[in-house]
């Protein structure tokens, strides 16, 4: 029996949704969207000829309507895949691309479309005001440039920059130090390859301080494995190589995501004490206490630590495994990342459960947030929604885990924009990505991304990047 100390949760089964707590109720309210909204969105997309690329962290009302819309030109993904999807849509004839995310994502889509030869396809943001990102902005100040200045004067320095930064940041960083982008999925493999491929390389990671600290923890945990186990992770990996490399990895210590920092020590303590048997879905960006819990859970086969895609894959595998037993099962999963992931997670669960609706399998998604981590809407039909409005329910003891910047993208704003695109209004400049010297920044800022794509294809750092490290940071 649940008590008042429990975190809110949402139970998903073949029989429907059972939310417990106001936060979970507000999440569940949009998982089966209003049919009128879905039809209106389908028609608006058809009239405008636009494609939509959106991030996983959209609010549930917007995501619910998007995922229920019958359009081939719609993709919800992480930030890197958004640009690739936009290129595919442009190749298939869309008239415009709408980016539902923060501003650096729109910039990235614009630059990638330009480099792919689709410069005439306009890119729009959902609203005219700037949509910021606390993590991306932490790499735009003098502190980050000063930190990179240390890298610039150190021998054999390689700057590994998280993909969730602006093109201008990537461009300026690469001007100072040879730079390659990374994602939460490939950062560890990329660092291991750098240690192997460039003797005595100094790796500088930024701007996400939590991720940097967690990479150190991961490298330390790997050093406890024997050499045969390590070689399965990387052919040249050994305990000696890890010990030698650990002292050459540095991370920026002033970069924070205002959402992930809400998963503080008190959240980790409550998860450890009250949800010891639950699976943990932990993003690589969370603070170290929850991250270490996630690592322990992963070793026991009941957790995942990684990217949004890693989390979705784990959930799907767990549900399919439970169904394969043919027995009644109730799975509990603690969501250690932004609550916008709920829509995609529920969709994955439902797609598995629908294949065997008579099996008694259910999944409880637990939100490590305060019960009052909601915002009033002043509307009679739905008086509360998950998110931030003046900080209700948000604190390091268990915050609302909802990004206020991402939530600037709303369904109403999208409707209004699509109507203006369909009417072919010429005054939409305020909705376009804001890029100073766009040609120069796009060209320089995509170099680190190009390096990362080469690494993803081959498993090796590209030769021109290695040569740059050896020549510039001699």
What are the Cα distances from residue 436, in Å, to 70, 101, 107, 432, 442? 36, 19, 10, 12, 10
Least confident of 223-237, 311-325, 454-468: 223-237
Is the C-alpha dihedral spanning 108, 114, 118, 123 positive or negative?
A: positive
Is 2 inside any structural domain? no
Q: Pick from 2-6, 153-157, 284-288 the range whose average pLDDT is largest.
A: 153-157
Reading phi first (left if > 0) and then psi (alpha if -120 to 50, else beta), residue 384 is in beta
Say if 66 falls within a structural domain. yes
Highest mean pLDDT among 283-287, 309-313, 371-375: 309-313
Domain count, the chain: 3
Confirm whether 394 is domain-assigned: yes
**pLDDT at position 348, please?**
94
Tokens of 14: 């073949």
b/e burial code for range 408-428 (CB count within 10 A of at least 16 → b): bbbbebbeebbebbbeeeeeb
Q: What was the pLDDT predicted at 425?
A: 78
> Are 104 and 140 found together in one domain?
no
235 and 188 Cβ atoms separated by less than 8 Å: no
Q: Are residues 397 and 265 in the same domain?
A: yes
Nearest 5°: the CA angle 10, 415, 84 is 75
**Sequence-distant (≥ 6) Cβ neighbours of residue 454 within 8 angstroms:** 460, 461, 462, 465
Work out the average pLDDT over 410-437.
Answer: 88
Residue 97 pLDDT:
97
Check if the beta carbon of residue 333 is closer than 8 Å to that of residue 297: no
What is the reported pLDDT for 241?
74
pLDDT at 449 over 60: yes
437 pLDDT above the threshold of 60: no
Q: With the CA atoms of 300, 219, 177 and 132 taken in that order, what torsion angle do they form, in degrees rounded to the nearest 10?
A: 30
pLDDT digits (tens, 9 = 90+) for 39-92: 999 999 999 999 999 998 888 889 999 999 978 899 998 888 999 999 999 999
Given 387, 405, 423, the domain boundary residue is 405
Q: Do residues 154 and 182 both lie within one domain?
A: yes
Distances (CA, A) of 351 to 56, 60, 311: 18, 18, 16
- The region of weakest confidence among 43-47, 106-110, 401-405, 420-424 is 401-405
Domain that holds residue 354: 9-30+258-405
- Encode pLDDT of 214-272 as tens digits: 999 988 887 777 777 777 777 767 777 777 777 899 999 999 887 777 787 888 888 99
Residues with Cβ within 8 Å of residue 141, at least 6 apart in sequence = none
> Above pLDDT 90, what percent of the chain?
61
Asked if 111 and 445 count as a contact pair (C-beta separation under 8 A), the reply is yes
The verdict on 394 and 274 lying in the same domain is yes
Task: Specify whether 128 is located in the same domain as 144.
Answer: no
Q: What is the C-alpha separation between 252 and 138, in angstroms, rounded? A: 10
Tokens of 442: 């796009």
Q: Tell me, what's the pLDDT at 4?
A: 45
- Do both 262 and 354 map to the same domain? yes
Q: Does position 98 have pLDDT exceeding 70, yes or no?
A: yes
Q: With respect to residue 308, please indicate whether it lies within any of the assigned structural domains.
A: yes
Mean of the per-residue pLDDT values of the chain: 87
Q: Are 286 and 306 in contact (CB under 8 A)?
A: no
Verify that 273 and 394 share a domain, yes or no: yes
∠ CA(391), CA(397), CA(401), 5° rounding?
50
Q: Are residues 216 and 156 in the same domain?
A: yes
Which of 144-158, 232-246, 357-371 is the least confident region? 232-246
Please state, in angstroms and rounded to a whole number, the distance separating the CA atoms of residues 135 and 255: 6
For residue 399, name the pLDDT band (cuts at 50, 70, 90).
low
Cα Rg, the chain, nearest whole Å? 22
What string of H, E and C letters represents the secondary structure of the chain? CCCCCCCCEEEEECCEEEEECHHHHHHHCCCCCCHHHHHHHHHHHHHHCEEEEEECCCCHHHHHHHHCCCCCCEEEECHHHHHHHHHHHHHCCCCEEEEECCHHHHHHHHHHHHHCCCCCCCEEECCCCCCCCHHHHHCCCHHHHHHHHHHHCCCCEEEEEECCCCHHHHHHHHHHCCEEEECCCCHHHHHHHHHHHCCCCEEEEECCHHHHHHHHHHHHHHCCCCHHHHHHHCCCCCHHHHHHHHCCEEECCCCCCCCHHHCCHHHHHHHHHHCCCCEEEEECCCCHHHHHHHHHHHHCCCEEEECHHHHHHHHHHHHHHHHHCCCCEEEEEEEECCCCHHHHHHHHHHHHHCCCCCCCEEEEEECCCCCCCEEECCCCCCCEEECCCCCCCCCCCCCCCCCCCHHHCCHHHHHHHHHHHHCCCCCCHHHCCCCCCHHHHHHHHCHHHHHHHHHHHHCCCCHHHHHHHHHHCC
> Do 95 and 42 belong together in one domain?
yes
Q: Whole-angstrom Cα distance, residue 369 to residue 340?
A: 13
Q: What per-residue confidence (pLDDT) applies to 313?
A: 95
pLDDT value of position 385:
43
The answer on 128 and 55 residing in a single domain is yes
> Per mean pLDDT, which range of 108-122, 263-277, 359-373 is the poorest?
359-373
Tokens 């980790």 sit on residue: 268
Residue 461: predicted pLDDT: 97
Name the CA dihedral angle for 95, 101, 105, 109, rounded to a multiple of 10 degrees. -10
Point out the least confidently predicted range of 139-143, 175-179, 336-340, 375-379.
Answer: 375-379
CA–CA distance, 53 with 84 (Å, rounded to integer): 10
Residue 104 has pLDDT above 70, yes or no: yes
Whether 330 is covered by a domain: the verdict is yes
Lowest mean pLDDT among 212-221, 253-262, 299-308, 465-474: 253-262
The strand order across the sheet containing 50-55 reads: 74-77, 50-55, 96-100, 123-125
Range with the poorest average pLDDT among 133-147, 173-187, 212-226, 429-443: 429-443
- 335 with 224, same domain: the answer is no
pLDDT, position 466 = 97
Range scoring the smallest mean pLDDT among 133-137, 385-389, 417-421, 452-456: 385-389
CATH of the domain at 264: 3.40.50.10800
Closest by alpha carbon to 79, among 333, 460, 452? 452
Same domain, 165 and 39: no
- Tens digits of residue pLDDT in 10-23: 999 999 999 998 77
Whether residue 453 has pLDDT greater than 90: yes
Give domain status of residue 1, yes or no: no
Q: Is residue 305 part of a domain?
A: yes
- Please tell me the predicted confidence (pLDDT) of residue 21: 83
pLDDT single digits (tens) 20-34: 987 788 888 889 999
Whether 4 is covered by a domain: the verdict is: no
Question: So what's the pLDDT on residue 292?
Answer: 92
């Amino acid at each position: 029996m649940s008590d008042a100390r429990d975190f809110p949760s949402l139970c998903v089964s073949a029989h429907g949704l059972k939310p417990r707590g106001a936060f979970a109720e507000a999440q569940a309210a949009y998982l089966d969207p209003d049919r009128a909204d879905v039809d209106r969105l389908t028609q608006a997309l058809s009239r405008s000829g636009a494609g939509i690329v959106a991030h996983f962290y959209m609010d549930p009302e917007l995501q619910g309507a998007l995922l229920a819309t019958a359009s081939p030109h719609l993709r919800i993904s992480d930030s890197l895949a958004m640009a690739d999807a936009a290129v595919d849509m442009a190749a298939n004839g869309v008239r415009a691309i709408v980016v539902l995310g923060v501003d650096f994502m729109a910039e990235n889509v614009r630059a990638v479309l330009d480099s792919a030869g689709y410069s005439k396809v306009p890119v729009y943001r959902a609203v005219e005001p700037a949509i910021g990102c606390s993590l991306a902005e932490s790499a735009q100040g003098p502190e980050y440039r000063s930190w990179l200045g240390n890298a610039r004067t150190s021998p054999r320095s390689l700057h590994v920059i998280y993909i969730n930064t602006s093109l201008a940041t990537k461009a300026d960083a690469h001007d100072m130090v040879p730079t390659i982008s990374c994602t939460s999925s490939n950062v560890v493999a990329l660092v291991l390859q750098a240690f192997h491929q460039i003797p005595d390389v100094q790796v500088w990671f930024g701007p996400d301080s939590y991720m940097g600290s967690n990479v150190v923890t991961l490298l330390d945990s790997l050093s406890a494995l024997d050499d045969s186990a390590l070689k399965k992770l990387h052919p040249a990996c050994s305990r000696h190589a890890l010990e030698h490399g650990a002292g050459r990895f540095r991370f920026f210590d002033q970069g924070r995501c205002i959402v992930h920092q809400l998963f503080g020590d008190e959240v980790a303590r409550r998860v450890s004490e009250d949800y010891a048997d639950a699976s943990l879905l932990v993003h690589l960006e969370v603070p170290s206490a929850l991250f270490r819990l996630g690592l322990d859970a992963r070793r026991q086969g009941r957790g995942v630590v990684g990217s949004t895609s890693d989390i979705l894959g784990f959930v799907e595998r767990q549900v399919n495994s439970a169904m394969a037993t043919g027995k009644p099962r109730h799975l509990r999963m603690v969501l250690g990342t932004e609550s916008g992931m709920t829509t995609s997670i529920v969709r994955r669960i439902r797609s598995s459960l629908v294949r065997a609706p008579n099996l008694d399998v259910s999944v409880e998604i637990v939100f490590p947030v305060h019960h009052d981590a909601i915002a009033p809407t002043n509307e009679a039909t739905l008086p509360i929604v998950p998110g931030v409005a003046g900080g209700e329910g948000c604190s390091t003891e268990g915050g609302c885990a909802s990004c206020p910047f991402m939530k600037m993208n709303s369904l109403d704003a999208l409707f209004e924009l699509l109507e203006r695109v369909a009417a072919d209004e010429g005054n939409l400049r305020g909705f376009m990505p804001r890029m100073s010297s766009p040609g120069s920044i796009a060209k320089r800022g995509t170099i680190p991304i190009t390096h990362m794509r080469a690494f993803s294809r081959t498993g090796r750092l590209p030769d021109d990047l290695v040569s740059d490290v050896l020549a510039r940071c001699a």
